Amino acid sequence: MTAAGSSERKTRIAIAGASGRMGRMLLEAVANAGDCELSGALDREGSESLGQDAYAFLGRRAGVNITADLRQGLAGTDVLIDFTRPEGTLAHLAVCRELGVRAVIGTTGFSEAQKAEIAEHAKHLGLMMAPNMSVGVNVVLRLLDMAARALNEGYDIEIIEAHHRHKVDAPSGTALAMGEAVAGALGRDLKQCAVYGREGVTGERDPSTIGFATVRGGDIIGDHTVLFAGTGERIEISHKSSSRATYAQGSLRAARFLMKHGAGLYGMNDVLGLA
């Protein structure tokens, strides 16, 4: 495997979930990237898109057909970009490990056991995993760390997130990452202080908690707000996505990063030089 995305050849990228909303956005990003080329397009068994040219929806040809055969779809690939479901991603990573293919993981909703499995794969592969590939979101995570340290007394912290009706996990991976950023800055364990729902007579709010509120509806791509509510003032740090293109561009940036680094589990802070 060539170690870097140099001028000698383009970085060969495979896309998982190729017929989905995010998959198509990733395909379009690869098609328009001068330093990348599509090497594979994967989708689940039974998908109506199987056998079609991956760029057909763009009115052009990639010369790569969508397949459910992992080894066929990953053959000759440098980096797999995967925004699917936890079980599917783990199946993909097992084959990536066999073939020596790096992976950018945008899938969310992993259990702790599944995260441990990913960490094990990262001992042998370069993996970049983040709940949100947006450059803006990852800058917001750094701002939240700063805000939480300064507003560590007298402020109640609530995280509100909204996504489209098709999203299957809640709270979103990005909301949880924001909670982790705030909890870490405050020296708390999010597992111990998170409140994910309120109903009935809940009593007064425990000031040590971090609350989450989830909205699902329509075609909302992704809105996140962290509210610091004090006496006489509120500070809100928000990020709103108007297009999945920002996730696709961040994913390509992560793929380029992996081409220059060895085995390990990286995050967007590493990609952006914020670590």
How far apart, in whole angstroms, are the C-alpha atoms of residue 16 and residue 12? Answer: 14
Is 11-133+244-272 CATH 3.40.50.720?
yes
pLDDT digits (tens, 9 = 90+) for 203-251: 999 999 999 999 999 999 999 999 999 999 999 999 999 988 999 999 9
Indicate the pTM of the whole model. 0.80
What local confidence, expressed as pLDDT, does residue 7 receive?
Answer: 53
What local confidence, expressed as pLDDT, does residue 99 receive?
Answer: 97
What is the CATH architecture assignment of 135-241?
Answer: 2-Layer Sandwich (3.30)
Residue 66 CB contacts under 8 Å (≥ 6 apart), including other chains: 18, 19, 41, 42, 43, 47, 49, 50, 51, 52, 53, 54
243 close to 100: Cβ distance less than 8 angstroms: no
Q: Return averaged pLDDT per consecutive 10 residues of the chain, 275 residues in all.
A: 57 97 96 97 95 97 97 97 96 97 95 97 97 91 96 98 94 95 98 96 96 97 97 98 92 97 96 86
Pairing of strands 264-266, 210-216: unpaired
Q: Give residue limits of the domains in the chain.
A: 11-133+244-272, 135-241
Q: Which residues are catalytic?
A: 163, 167
How far apart, in whole angstroms, are the C-alpha atoms of residue 96 and residue 113? Answer: 19
What local confidence, expressed as pLDDT, does residue 244 receive?
Answer: 86
Residue 131 to residues 7, 43, 108, 180, 250, Cα–Cα distance (Å): 30, 21, 6, 12, 12
